[in-house]
Structure formats: structure tokens, C-alpha cells
């Protein structure tokens, strides 16, 4: 009987310690995820596309409005043979917005009234990936992008926009303005 009692007490002590360890591990992982800061400041500034077609120039500008909102603007110019200056041939506005603990990348092309939204599916201190998996987005008949990825490596900013049959790659260098 004495041996059973000692065995029971030993089992109880071991069980209590395992519970404490599990609780401690849970608190540590909760603390780690709480300490993760959503920071996309590496996007900030004025960028010029370095892999653009000859005769065109593309620029992208990013500003931080708050800890939950980054705004951007991109435009492409093409040299006009008559005036020898660049005419704007493409414009888009975009925002990274956090709401309900989720980040979304919203893009509004010139002439559109409603931005297209991509949900951020992963991110770290130097990259993020956003996806839109809606079957009707924005037009099933054309090859619309369904993934946007941005990342920074050294002093360059990169972006990839891809769909089922298309993939556009962008490389930017920071402008000193």
C-alpha cells in the first residue's frame, strides 16, 4: 500500500509539472506572436523600376499614414516622339490596410470606382504575399492576377504579380528624392 501511495504521489507531481511546462510553452508562444510588429516601413520612399521596357519609365511611391495603413501610387510614362517628354500611360493607387487583425492590399486602377482587394496570407520583416482566390475576381474570362508579392533585398524592392497564365516581375531601385 505504501508503494502504491508513493507511486500515486510521484505520478501526480510529474503530471503537475508537465501541465506547468505546457502552460509555460503556451504563454511563451503567445508572447512571441504578440511581440511581432506589423511593420512595412521597408516599402517607404520613391522607387523607379529598373527592368522597364525601353522608352518607358515606371515609378512607385509609398507613404505611411499610420501603423495600420500604408498608401502607394504607381505610374508609367512613355516618351512621346512629338514632345520628347513622358506621357502618363498607366496609373494605380494602392493601400496596405489592417482591419480586424488582417492586412489587405487594395488596388485601384485609374478609372475604377471600387478597389480590388487581396488578403495578406504571409509576411515577415522584408516581404509579404497577398492573394485573391475569388472565382469571379475581377473577370474570370481574362487572366486576372490572383497573387501579389513584395519583398526587399539589399537596396532593391521587388514585386511579382501573377495569375493562372501570367507573371509580371518588377525590380525597383530607390530614388534619392
The pLDDT of 149-153, averaged and rounded, is 97
Range list of H helices, the chain: 2-35
> From CA 35, how far away is CA 118, in angstroms rounded?
25
Residues in the chain: 177
Q: Is the pLDDT of residue 54 over 70?
A: yes
> Confidence band (pLDDT; 50, 70, 90) for 143?
low
> Confidence band (pLDDT; 50, 70, 90) for 83?
low
> Confidence band (pLDDT; 50, 70, 90) for 98?
very high
The pLDDT of 122-131, averaged and rounded, is 95
Amino acid at each position: 500500500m505504501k508503494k502504491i501511495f508513493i507511486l500515486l504521489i510521484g505520478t501526480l507531481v510529474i503530471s503537475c509539472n508537465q501541465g506547468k511546462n505546457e502552460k509555460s510553452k503556451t504563454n511563451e508562444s503567445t508572447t512571441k506572436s504578440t511581440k511581432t510588429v506589423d511593420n512595412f516601413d521597408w516599402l517607404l520612399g520613391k522607387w523607379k523600376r529598373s527592368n522597364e521596357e525601353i522608352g518607358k519609365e515606371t515609378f512607385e511611391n509609398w507613404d505611411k499614414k499610420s501603423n495600420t495603413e500604408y498608401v502607394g501610387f504607381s505610374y508609367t510614362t512613355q516618351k512621346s516622339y512629338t514632345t520628347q517628354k513622358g506621357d502618363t500611360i498607366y496609373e494605380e493607387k494602392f493601400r496596405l490596410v489592417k482591419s480586424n487583425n488582417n492586412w489587405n492590399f487594395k488596388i485601384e486602377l485609374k478609372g475604377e470606382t471600387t478597389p480590388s482587394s487581396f488578403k495578406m496570407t504571409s509576411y515577415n520583416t522584408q516581404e509579404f504575399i497577398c492573394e485573391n482566390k475569388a472565382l469571379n475576381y475581377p473577370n474570370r474570362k481574362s487572366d486576372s492576377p490572383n497573387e501579389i508579392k513584395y519583398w526587399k533585398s539589399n537596396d532593391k524592392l521587388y514585386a511579382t504579380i501573377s495569375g493562372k497564365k501570367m507573371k509580371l516581375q518588377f525590380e525597383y531601385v530607390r530614388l534619392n528624392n
